[in-house]
Amino acid sequence: MGHNGAAITGCGAALPERRLTNRDLEKMVDTSDRWILERTGIRERRLLEEGLSTVDLSERAARDALDGAGIKPHELELILVATVTPDYPLPAAACCLQARLGAFRAAAMDVAAGCSGFIYALAVADQFIRSGAYRNVLVVGVEIPSRIVDWSDRSTCVLFGDGAGAVVMQPADGERGLVAFELGADGRGREHLYIPAGGTVLPTSAETVQRQLHYVKMNGTEIFRFAVRIVQETLERLLEKSHLDYGDLDHLFLHQANLRIIESIRKKLRLPREKVPVHVDRYGNMSAAAIPVALFEEKAAGRLKEGDLLAAVAFGAGLTWGGILMRW
Amino acid sequence: MNIEERVKAIISEQLEVPLDSLTAETTFEEIDADSLDIVELVMALEEEFDLEISDQEIENIKTIGDIVNYIESRI
Ligand SMILES: CC(C)(COP(=O)(O)OP(=O)(O)OC[C@H]1O[C@@H](n2cnc3c(N)ncnc32)[C@H](O)[C@@H]1OP(=O)(O)O)[C@@H](O)C(=O)NCCC(=O)NCCS
């Protein structure tokens, strides 16, 4: 039997202790605190300590989310990990996390939709719950970009940071829960943000490594234009299909890639600052972890309250985009 | 409004500079617009005039007059 809806019943976040400031970056590449701050709004980002990997950060966020929901790992039926930086190229990060948690009754898979991954995964969880297939789903958004960026390329290495966020989704038959989702992709833009080598086009070889093709390459201007446009289109579609208006939103959670993108959108929509949480200044772009970390922080700060209507919209490599409307 | 006036109105709103401070000779450097401001401005102009401005063309734009000339040649 299906359910009328699915809601977030617990959330958690985990950030590495180690901070990397813009000043630190000045010593590594030809950049300046001023350039980074003006173009991106980023002041510092976190870096995962050597010796730790994706699963270490995911586990901390996941355990907090499970505690919040009041369930034990063995009650989980599905684990979805949104990431493009798994512990190994094979198998999925979700399997590493399943073993770490001891959640052996759960199916486990990754959702690789770049920075939109967490939104994609929430929609997947929502559908499994509505269909009646599962009741307890763990959704993690985790990214360790520090392990895939080229630390000698100033145009990308200053932008990203490591982090993890997690939520538990369960059936909800009242007002609470996911109201609508909107997902999309345009694979024609796949090379605007990609890693050339290490896949079947260019398997890893001494030559690909020597040519630095195993690192992230990005066309920043294309992504900027895409982001500003697609977030507004996605929001409009979400609101339209739910017969709601911008004025009904209590919070707009945007993917945290660049403050300039966030501000451009916020100003066009004429939303006040309090409704659009920002943490990119402290954490940089944490890809799929950005939105769950923001949910956790807003809830912990008491700003995200039961009954609030929120939208969350992300965009990223693929190109992909995704948005949800949710009654908290 | 003619094209120059429409362009100036968009620049004034987008970059938050007083309309009467803008002339055809004003450069983007003078009004403190960086490369991302220009990308946003180009997006607003594309919408207003229903045309596409390529990255290459953006590189050649230095003054408000350059934009006006470019748009006039295209519509
Ligand atoms: C990356 C981004 C900040 C770059 O800003 P931009 O204004 O487009 O910058 P450009 O690439 O045009 O570069 C402008 C100049 O700054 C330089 N530059 C780039 N990175 C720099 C850095 N860290 N420090 C100093 N200078 C830098 C460039 O080399 C270029 O110099 P040049 O004009 O002498 O060639 C911006 O494009 C952006 O944020 N895009 C979206 C990226 C994104 O969100 N990605 C993740 C999606 S999930």
pLDDT band at residue A3, thresholds of 50, 70 and 90? confident
Domains of chain A (ranges; CATH) run 6-174 (3.40.47.10), 179-327 (3.40.47.10)
State residue B72's pLDDT score. 87
Taking CA atoms only, the protein residue closest to ligand 1 atom 28 is A155
- ipTM score of complex: 0.86
Range A256-285 average pLDDT = 96
State residue A288's pLDDT score. 98
What residues contact A178, with CB distance under 8 A and at least 6 apart?
A5, A6, A7, A122, A123, A126, A324, A325, A326
If you compute the radius of gyration of chain B from its CA atoms, what whole number of angstroms results?
Answer: 11
Residue from B33, B75, B68, B39 nearest B54 by CA? B39
Both structure tokens of A20: 């990397």
Strand pairing class (A163-171; A137-143): antiparallel
What residues contact A122, with CB distance under 8 A and at least 6 apart?
A139, A167, A169, A178, A181, A324
Measure in Å the smallest separation between the Cα of A12 and chain B Cα atoms: 34
CB contact under 8 A, A229 and B43: yes
Q: List the single best residue of B40, B42, B47, B56 to mutate versus A (max A Cβ within 10 A).
A: B40
Q: Which amino acid is at A248?
A: D
Mean per-residue pLDDT of chain A? 96
Range A279-293 average pLDDT = 98
Residue A304 reports pLDDT greater than 80: yes
CA gap A94, A58 in Å, rounded: 9
What residues contact B19, with CB distance under 8 A and at least 6 apart?
B8, B9, B12
pLDDT, tens digit (0-9, with 9 covering 90-100), for B12-68: 988 888 988 888 888 888 888 888 998 898 999 898 889 888 878 888 888 889 889
| Cα A153 to ligand 1 centroid, rounded to whole Å | 11
Active site residues of A: 115, 255, 285
Give the nearest chain B residue to A229 (CA atoms): B43
State residue A181's pLDDT score. 97
pLDDT band at residue A173, thresholds of 50, 70 and 90? confident
State residue A300's pLDDT score. 96
**Which helix (H) or strand (E) element contains residue A208?**
helix A206-210
SS3 string of B41-63? HHHHHHHHHCCCCCHHHHHCCCE
Both structure tokens of A44: 């510092």
Residue A2 reports pLDDT greater than 80: no
pLDDT, tens digit (0-9, with 9 covering 90-100), for A213-231: 999 999 999 999 999 999 9
Residue A142 reports pLDDT greater than 80: yes
The dihedral region occupied by A249, where left means phi > 0, alpha psi between -120 and 50, and beta the remainder, is: beta
Residue A84 reports pLDDT greater than 90: yes
pLDDT band at residue A1, thresholds of 50, 70 and 90? low
Q: In sequence order, which ranges of A242-279 are alpha helices (DSSP H)?
A: 259-269
Range A235-263 average pLDDT = 97
CB A250 within 8 A of CB A309: yes
Which range among A129-143, A311-325, B60-74 shows the weakest confidence by mean pLDDT?
Answer: B60-74
Which range among A176-185, A291-300, B42-51 shows the weakest confidence by mean pLDDT?
Answer: B42-51
CA gap A317, A308 in Å, rounded: 30
Both structure tokens of B57: 């063309």
Range A160-174 average pLDDT = 95
Buried b (16+ CB within 10 A) or exposed e, B40-62: bbbbebeeebeeebeeeebeebe
Residue A140 reports pLDDT greater than 90: yes
Range A73-92 average pLDDT = 98
Burial of A217 (0-12, 13-18, 19+ CB in 10 A): middle
| A264 touching B (Cβ < 8 Å) | yes
Helices vs strands, H then E, count in chain B: 4, 0
- Choice between A270 and B29, residue whose per-residue pLDDT is larger: A270
